[in-house]
Amino acid sequence: MAKRKPEEIEILKCTYPIVRDELSGHGKALEILEKSLKNGTFPATVLISGPPRVGKTSLAYIIAAALECEAPTPWACGECLSCRKIKRSLFPDLRIITLEESDKGKLKSQILVEQVRKEVLETIELPPYEGKKLIFIIEPAEALNISSQNALLKVLEEPPSYAHFILIAKDFGPLLPTVRSRCQEIHLSEVEDSEMEKIALEMNIRGRKREAIDVSRGRPGILISGEWEDFLELRGALEQLLVLGSSLEDYPKLAPMFDVLLEYQPLVVLDEAAYMIKEMSRSLEDPESGRSETCRKILGAGGRENLFRKAKLILEAPSLLVRNVQPKLLYQSIFLDLGRKPDTGLN
């Protein structure tokens, strides 16, 4: 999610997790799903939510493989022909509905109703071609616009007995209540540090293990894909921008940091900056760390008041991006504050 887009990483990997043990953490969600797989009551429509890189797409493939496997236990065996095809996303009855490319080769920002008609409504009446089920994975579901969501309502309410829908969304906000009410919701939270430790060991991350786990913030995909190194670079640049006194004299030191930010997707940058501000505010409130080097630097750069101002600008930033404000201008307006008054103390 950092420098490389997730779909590029998936192309590099070319395979998807399909057996239960390939999903790190999320024991509770798996337990609930396992019951319904065993009872044969697996819901026709599920909506998986959670932060980026936490394992949503992996879970969707693991569910799809369990539903199609020739010898399920009730999870997928990982060996049969159906499992092997799903692993490479080559199974004809597994349909992935995602953002299409525009004529200019850029990803569209919405899943339009024409695409829903062509890829779902016109094909769902035909029973599965090779497998037991016809499975539609829709990701990112929040990219379905209102017309697309309305077009799906009927099939989400009463799909043919052989059809399953797995919707994947980072955030429920843009989804209509009528869509959500038709889905069983499964939320994946950040996984615990002990789980991340295990993954770091499996990935053979030794020298910088603590840093890697810390910067991954409970999102296994960041450790597994190696993106944690990108995140460390991003965090380093953001730290400079947050703790250097953002005055005119500092600008030559700050300018290269803006170039680093521009290598990442803006929403990733904003999310990371908001997280860092939260952590910094917390450390200012902690008397134990109150006199630490970082705290002194934050106070030198305008202290709590300046952090709050930046946090407010960060919250407003996504709506400006939608209105096509250039990321560089946006970052400068957030991180450079040439007219501020210095803060004088912890409170």
Nearer residue to Zn ion within complex by CB, 9 or 80: 80
The DSSP 8-state label assigned to residue 292 in this structure reads S
**Residue span binding Zn ion (CB under 5 A) among the ranges 3-11, 32-40, 66-74, 191-199:** 66-74
Closer Cβ to Zn ion, 30 or 222, answer by number: 30
Asked whether 232 and 211 are in contact (CB, 8 A), the reply is yes
Contact assessment for residue 294 and residue 318, using Cβ atoms and an 8 Å cutoff: no
What are residue 258's phi and psi, to 5 degrees? -65, -35
3-state SS of the chain: helix, strand, coil percent to 5?
Answer: 55, 10, 40
Give the nearest distance from C-beta 65 to Zn ion in angstroms: 7
Give alpha helix (H) positions in 139-286: 146-157, 177-180, 193-202, 209-216, 220-225, 228-243, 251-261, 266-285
Q: Which is nearer to Zn ion, 80 or 267 (CB)?
A: 80
Q: Is-contact 250 244, C-beta < 8 A?
A: yes
Residue 85 CB, nearest distance to Zn ion (Å)? 10
- Residue from 83, 116, 137, 273 touching Zn ion (CB under 5 A): that is 83
Based on CB atoms, which residue is closest to Zn ion, 78 or 220? 78
Choose the stretch contacting Zn ion; rule: CB under 5 A; options: 50-58, 75-83, 267-275, 309-317: 75-83
* Binding of Zn ion by 77 (CB under 5 A): yes
Sign of torsion over alpha carbons 149, 154, 155, 156 = positive
Q: What is the DSSP string of 68-137?
A: H-SS-SSS--S-SHHHHHHHTT--TTEEEE-PPB-TTSPBPSSB-HHHHIIIIITTTTSPPSSSS-EEEE
Smaller CB distance to Zn ion: residue 70 or 157? 70
86 part of the interface to Zn ion, by CB under 5 A: no
Phi, psi of 206, rounded to the nearest 5 degrees: -110, -65
Could you tell me the smallest distance in angstroms from the CB atom of residue 70 to Zn ion? 5
The interface region with Zn ion, picked from 46-54, 72-80, 85-93, 147-155 by CB under 5 A, is: 72-80
CB 95 within 8 Å of CB 135: yes
Least separation in angstroms between CB 94 and Zn ion: 13
| Minimum distance, C-beta of residue 172 to Zn ion, in the bound complex (Å) | 32
Q: Give 87 or 235: the residue with its C-beta nearer to Zn ion.
A: 87
Please identify which residue in 23, 30, 48, 69 interacts with Zn ion, judged by CB under 5 A. Answer: 69
- Of residues 189, 218, 191, 212, the one with CA closest to residue 200: 212
Distant-in-sequence, close-in-space partners of 325: CB < 8 Å, separation ≥ 6: none
Closest approach of Zn ion to the CB of residue 91, in Å: 11
**Of 71-79, 120-128, 133-141, 310-318: span binding Zn ion (CB under 5 A):** 71-79
- Give me the least distance between CB of 58 and Zn ion, in Å please: 17
| Stretch 13-52: interaction string toward Zn ion, x if CB under 5 A | ----------------------------------------
By CB under 5 A, is residue 96 in contact with Zn ion? no
Q: Which residue has the tokens 């590029």?
A: 8
Q: Which of 9, 10, 52, 80 binds Zn ion (CB under 5 A)?
A: 80
Measured from the CB atom, is 67 or 83 closer to Zn ion?
83
Total residues at the site for Zn ion (CB under 5 A)? 5
Q: How far apart are CA 12 and CA 232, in angstroms?
A: 22
The C-alpha atoms of residue 148 and residue 109 are separated, in whole angstroms, by 13
Binding residues (CB under 5 A) for Zn ion: these are 69, 76-77, 80, 83
